[in-house]
Amino acid sequence: MKVKDVEALNPVTVDPGASLESLASAVMERGVVYVLSETGGLLGVITGSKLISALTSGYARGATAQDVMIPAESLPHVGPDTDLHTAAGFFESSCVPEIPVVENGVLVASLPQRSVLMTFSSTVASSKGNRYHEQRALVILRSLHEGLIMIDKDLIIREFNPAAERLMNAKAADRIGQKAVVVSRDESPIFDVMKAGKARYNVITPLADGRVFSVNYVPMVEDGEVQGIIETFHDITEQEDLRAQLVNSRDELDRAFALTLPNSRVEHKLKHTPEYRDRYDPETGLITITEVIEDGNYKHVVNALKVLADLNTKGIMSLLGISKDVLVQSIIFHDLGKSQPQLEIGQTVDPKKAFEFSPAHAARSADIASHFYHKEADVIWLIRYHHHKEDELPPDFPRHLMPMLRLLQLVDGLSAALTRRNAHIKLDVEGTRVTVYERNGHPDFNKSRVVDLFTGDATVLNVD
């Protein structure tokens, strides 16, 4: 049997420059994330334990996927035609839950330990008397990093591998032949799986001792009847703690940001002005609403501040004529005067008719920032003209604000891409030039460019 004969998964991939925080959810979901170069070459792998140790060991701020990955050279990889026994051997010697499947130098799939395990388990069930396969399967079961318990239909434990001994703090000799004890706090899915004959994967299971396991339950079916269950599991307590920490720090960040707002009315307006995701039909020029983001304006402002913070760490604020305070205030107030239509998912509208002409909300936002919040003149200029093209600006627009206006428009556009199009963005700053690499599901916006903040020159880059 070969690798291509068993179930493989679509690999989850990231750019080498992805931040550690942005990797967390992908790693939590799958346990392993592949780092690819711009040309699609496999650079390395990030596992949950690698990420956790990077995050908890106070890894330098701004560290990226590339800094913490296990390099591709030190990883085993297989091809679609690799023999499954050879692939299984790699799991014995490596601590990754999935192995990359590479064909002609390109990552084509990810082979999970589980698929190999299930294949060999069914081999055991279907080839009784075949000593070689049985022996081989047992060696593999016993070398797994995941805990494995095999239970027959009477709930008697038939296999208890060394990883299960370690995770359950029990001896196989004491458990094999005994009736299985349900250690989860809640009702175990064993009974459902036994009855329905359908597998259940990644069941998050809190234990009575405070740990959290992720458990797979796979029925062993022979002649249409469930003969038992293979239960595989691993400890995800650290990942769950990390997830809780991340959620907490997101909440804290949210509260901290709300504190920077002038008052609760500004917060209320931002949180109750929706933004929409849509599908554009180039033939009719109409859009169909696909998602309503109720607090869209709030998210837009937060994302714009994040983009600005990223540019700040890359040195943008050391440029003459760029003021952090002016930009932060401009971002907070720039869309505060926006009047959004109330649209529903599935509704098709003409965007030119449904949405207000952008310079109108810009002027209203500038009036609000000026009259109610007494913001400085530079902030008001920037807000009032954030939707104007350069050749449409009034003659008295202060020329010294041009670099900041260009930067505000860039940040505003990138935040819209993050908020409304789930874009992936990478930024570089070199002198007065900002390079933007943007990728998202909307091909019209899938472009990379260089903008010179001093001259206004913009060049589109051809990057695949």
Query: What would the two tokens of residue 411 be?
Result: 């940040």
Would the CA dihedral through 25, 30, 33, 38 be positive or negative?
negative
Site for Fe ion in 301-330 (CB under 5 A): none
List beta partners, residue 101.
78, 109
How far apart are alpha carbons 50 and 276 in whole angstroms? Answer: 37
**Nearer to Fe ion (CB atom), residue 47 or residue 419:** 419
What DSSP line would sit under 158-181, residue for residue?
A: EEE-HHHHHHHT--HHHHTTSBP-
Mark residue 139 as left, alpha or beta (left: phi above 0; alpha: psi -120 to 50; beta: remaining).
Answer: alpha
Could you tell me which residues come within 8 angstroms of residue 302 by beta carbon, excluding any fewer than 6 positions away? 254, 257
**Nearer to Fe ion (CB atom), residue 111 or residue 411:** 411
Q: Which of 335, 337, 343, 380 binds Fe ion (CB under 5 A)?
A: 335
**Interface with Fe ion by CB under 5 A: which range of 19-27, 51-59, 197-205, 335-343?**
335-343
Q: How many C-beta atoms lie closer than 10 Å to residue 143's C-beta?
A: 15
**Nearer to Fe ion (CB atom), residue 231 or residue 335:** 335
Q: Whole-number minimum distance, CB 449 to Fe ion, in Å? A: 19
Return phi, psi of residue 57, to 5°.
-90, 20
Query: What would the two tokens of residue 372 be?
Result: 């109610």
Could you tell me which residues come within 8 angstroms of residue 460 by beta carbon, excluding any fewer than 6 positions away? 447, 448, 449
Q: Whole-number minimum distance, CB 297 to Fe ion, in Å? A: 8
H-helix or E-strand spanning residue 218:
strand 212-222
List beta partners, residue 279.
288
**Interface with Fe ion by CB under 5 A: which range of 79-87, 287-295, 368-376, 404-412?**
404-412
Q: Whole-number minimum distance, CB 207 to Fe ion, in Å? A: 47
**Interface with Fe ion by CB under 5 A: which range of 231-239, 307-315, 406-414, 440-448?**
406-414
**Nearer to Fe ion (CB atom), residue 205 or residue 419:** 419
Site for Fe ion in 192-231 (CB under 5 A): none
Q: Whole-number minimum distance, CB 405 to Fe ion, in Å? A: 13
Q: Whole-number minimum distance, CB 365 to Fe ion, in Å? A: 7
**Nearer to Fe ion (CB atom), residue 59 or residue 355:** 355
DSSP state of 392: G
**Interface with Fe ion by CB under 5 A: which range of 14-22, 147-155, 199-207, 407-415?**
407-415
Amino acid at 273: T
**Nearer to Fe ion (CB atom), residue 116 or residue 311:** 311
Residue among 460, 418, 461 nearest 440 (CA): 418
Decide: is 412 part of the binding site for Fe ion (CB under 5 A).
yes
**Interface with Fe ion by CB under 5 A: which range of 53-61, 205-213, 331-339, 449-457?**
331-339
Q: Whole-number minimum distance, CB 412 to Fe ion, in Å? A: 4
Q: Whole-number minimum distance, CB 257 to Fe ion, in Å? A: 16
63, 39 in Cβ contact below 8 A?
A: no
**Interface with Fe ion by CB under 5 A: which range of 73-81, 344-352, 372-380, 405-413?**
405-413
**Nearer to Fe ion (CB atom), residue 11 or residue 296:** 296
Mark residue 223 as left, alpha or beta (left: phi above 0; alpha: psi -120 to 50; beta: remaining).
Answer: left
Residue among 209, 212, 191, 208 nearest 200 (CA): 191
Query: What would the two tokens of residue 462 be?
Result: 């051809």
DSSP state of 19: B
The distance of Cα 316 from the centroid of its chain, to the nearest Å, equals 27
**Nearer to Fe ion (CB atom), residue 179 or residue 268:** 268
Decide: is 275 part of the binding site for Fe ion (CB under 5 A).
no
**Nearer to Fe ion (CB atom), residue 175 or residue 387:** 387
**Nearer to Fe ion (CB atom), residue 214 or residue 303:** 303
Query: What would the two tokens of residue 233 be?
Result: 């599991």
Q: Whole-number minimum distance, CB 323 to Fe ion, in Å? A: 19
Q: Whole-number minimum distance, CB 387 to Fe ion, in Å? A: 6
Decide: is 98 part of the binding site for Fe ion (CB under 5 A).
no
Q: Whole-number minimum distance, CB 290 to Fe ion, in Å? A: 20
- Residues of the shown chain interacting with Fe ion in the complex, contacts defined by CB under 5 A: 335, 412
